[in-house]
Amino acid sequence: MWGISLSSFVIGIALLAFTSSAVAQTRRIEGTHVTILDIGPRNRALNSASGTDLWADLQYSTPVDSTLHVFAEEYPAGSGCEGDVHQTNGGHTFRVTTGDWRQRFNFHWRGHGLKEGFVKVYAQLNGQEATSNICIHMNFRPGELHPLDEQ
């Protein structure tokens, strides 16, 4: 009668379900707060050729069980983690439970994006975003310190 195949119908329903769940994850939920307290490691430049495991200490509050996204943004050399030129490269999604928490989250930064520059960590929870005020230098020479790196 309509000429719609079963597979097209199933794909349509799947897209509708995905879209509605994505919208639910990004809407702001009253009573949600997220703050990045610290990130690391900061004792050396990150190796952009191989990537590395990063961590972020967060203070957060959520009135409902939620999805937390913690991710790394790469900024080019000379930017100091500022400006419109940057790219997401690595991160992880975590399930968090209702309540007020202080917790360390470990995730992988892939590297292989920019050869040299800076990495900054972000977190998103229930439509709210937190930005680290710490900028970590990265390059393709492992172990080399940069003047901005913490000693």
Q: Determine, yes or no, domain membership for 13.
A: no
Q: Determine, yes or no, domain membership for 129.
A: yes
pLDDT value at position 143?
A: 54
- Band (pLDDT 50/70/90 cuts) for residue 5 is low
Q: What is the pLDDT of residues 70-122, one digit of tens each?
A: 999 999 888 888 888 888 888 999 999 999 999 999 999 888 777 888 899 99
Q: Determine, yes or no, domain membership for 7.
A: no
Q: What is the pLDDT of residues 124-151, one digit of tens each?
A: 999 999 999 999 888 866 555 555 544 3
CA distances from 30 to 1, 62, 64, 132 (A): 47, 9, 10, 22
Q: Determine, yes or no, domain membership for 148.
A: no
Q: Determine, yes or no, domain membership for 124.
A: yes
Q: What is the pTM of this model?
A: 0.74
pLDDT value at position 24?
A: 42
Q: Determine, yes or no, domain membership for 108.
A: yes
Q: Determine, yes or no, domain membership for 23.
A: no
Q: How many domains does the chain have?
A: 1
Q: Determine, yes or no, domain membership for 42.
A: yes
**How does strand 117-125 pair with strand 136-139?**
antiparallel
Range of the domain at 120: 31-139
CATH number of domain containing 109: 2.60.40.2550
